[in-house]
Amino acid sequence: MEAYYPYIKSLHLIFIITWFAGLFYIVRLFVYQIEASQKPSPDREILGEQLKIMASRLWNIITWPSMILALIFGFWLLFMRTFFLADAWMQVKLAFVFVLIIYHLKCHQIFKQLQRGTVKYTSNYMRLFNEVPTIVLFAVVFLVILKDGTNWIYGTVGIILFAILLMMGYKIYKRIREK
């Protein structure tokens, strides 16, 4: 079984990448769907239907299967290296994975609402919401690469500063866009 570890790890990484790609793009589609819902007819109907099809294909064919496969291969890796569960970095990483799963489920809820034509959020809210997986991605990559070498205080401050920079970038983008 140990000979398969690099293959399982590779598959885990591939599906992590496609899962994140799906999460990043689905929220962009949410932004476009929300903005299309505010357009006059017939643009609203034409754009709305096309964006629903695009979102449905992305969500059901790429994002959901990628999440499921990433989790399967990830748990398989943990099963092969159970000693990682005792490491603090792995426990924090799994907490971030849990946050990402919650985010995914929230995206599913929003997806279902928009597929029904129900708009409950603004496009600006969705742009900000789209930064959550970016923060999780940075945190997990640094945790996995640096492991125990990570100084938790500096790491935590770094992620908070990164989140603040993202929010500032969003505010600047919003001002430019509104001009």
* Residues 15-41 pLDDT 10s: 999 999 999 999 999 999 999 999 999
Q: Specify the number of domains making up the chain.
A: 1
- pLDDT of 150 strictly over 60: no
- What is residue 87's predicted lDDT score, i.e. its pLDDT? 81
Establish whether 12 is an annotated binding residue: yes
Residue 179 DSSP one-character state: -
Q: What is the domain range of residue 120?
A: 2-178
- What is residue 162's predicted lDDT score, i.e. its pLDDT? 83
Backbone phi, psi, residue 77, to 5°: -60, -40
| CA–CA separation, 25 and 41 (whole Å) | 26
Question: Could you report the per-residue pLDDT of 36-83, keeping only the tens digit for each?
Answer: 999 999 999 999 999 999 999 999 999 999 999 999 999 999 999 887
Backbone phi, psi, residue 64, to 5°: -60, -50
Establish whether 174 is an annotated binding residue: no
Q: List helix spans (H) across 1-151.
A: 5-36, 43-57, 64-80, 88-115, 123-129, 132-146
